């Protein structure tokens, strides 16, 4: 995982058929308005349709000695070159293919410890992962560039 980039980019698109598991890289996936990523167990009409985590966050866990990769933290979209947890709620992110996401939550409460936590004594997803809803549909894919369009309604 290289951390050199001049523009924020999608590194991996990941889905799973059930909740509470690692997600598998699929290369690309349809993002559906008011639903999330097609085929993903976490998709639905709620505020956490799509989860995002940066490779920079994953690298922290790799530096702690873990063999972890995009999707291992249950994130749908792995990014590079953007400070995700610093984005305010309501920020809109657009992919170069036109998908528009709106940030709805920063971090989460983990009611049960995940396997990563037990292996390393820590997990970055609750602090550094973010969640979004799909505002404009389309295909999201590895290599898509990301831009911040601004803040949506609070």
Q: How far apart are CA 20 and CA 55, in angstroms?
A: 20
pLDDT tens, 124-138?
Answer: 888 899 999 999 999
Q: How far apart are CA 30 and CA 10, in angstroms?
A: 14
**pTM of whole model > 0.85?**
yes
Cβ atoms < 10 Å from Cβ of 6: 7
pLDDT at position 120 over 60: no
Using one digit for the tens of pLDDT, what is the confidence trace for 24-83?
999 999 999 999 999 999 999 999 999 999 999 999 989 988 888 999 888 999 999 999
CA angle at 119 for the pair 77 and 41, rounded to the nearest 5°: 35
Whether residue 152 contacts residue 92, with contact meaning beta carbons closer than 8 Å, is answered with: yes
- What is the spatial distance between Cα 3 and Cα 90, in angstroms, rounded to a whole number? 26
Which domains does the chain possess? 9-151 (2.40.33.20)
3-state class of 151 per DSSP? strand
> What is the per-residue pLDDT across 144-154, written as a single tens digit (0 to 9) for each?
999 999 765 55
């Amino acid at each position: 995982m290289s951390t050199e980039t001049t523009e924020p980019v999608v590194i991996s698109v990941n889905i799973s058929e059930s909740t509470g598991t690692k997600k598998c890289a699929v290369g690309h996936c349809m993002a559906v308005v008011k639903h999330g990523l097609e085929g993903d167990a976490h998709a639905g009409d709620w505020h956490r349709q799509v989860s995002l985590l940066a490779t920079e966050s994953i690298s922290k866990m790799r530096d702690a000695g873990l063999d972890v990769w995009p999707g291992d933290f249950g994130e749908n979209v792995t990014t590079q070159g953007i400070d995700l947890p610093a984005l305010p709620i309501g920020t809109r992110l657009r992919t170069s293919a036109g998908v528009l996401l709106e940030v709805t939550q920063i971090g989460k409460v983990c009611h049960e410890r995940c396997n990563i936590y037990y292996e390393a004594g820590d997990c970055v997803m609750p602090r550094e992962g973010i969640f979004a809803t799909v505002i404009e549909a389309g295909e999201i894919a590895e290599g898509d560039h990301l831009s911040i369009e601004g803040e949506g309604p609070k």
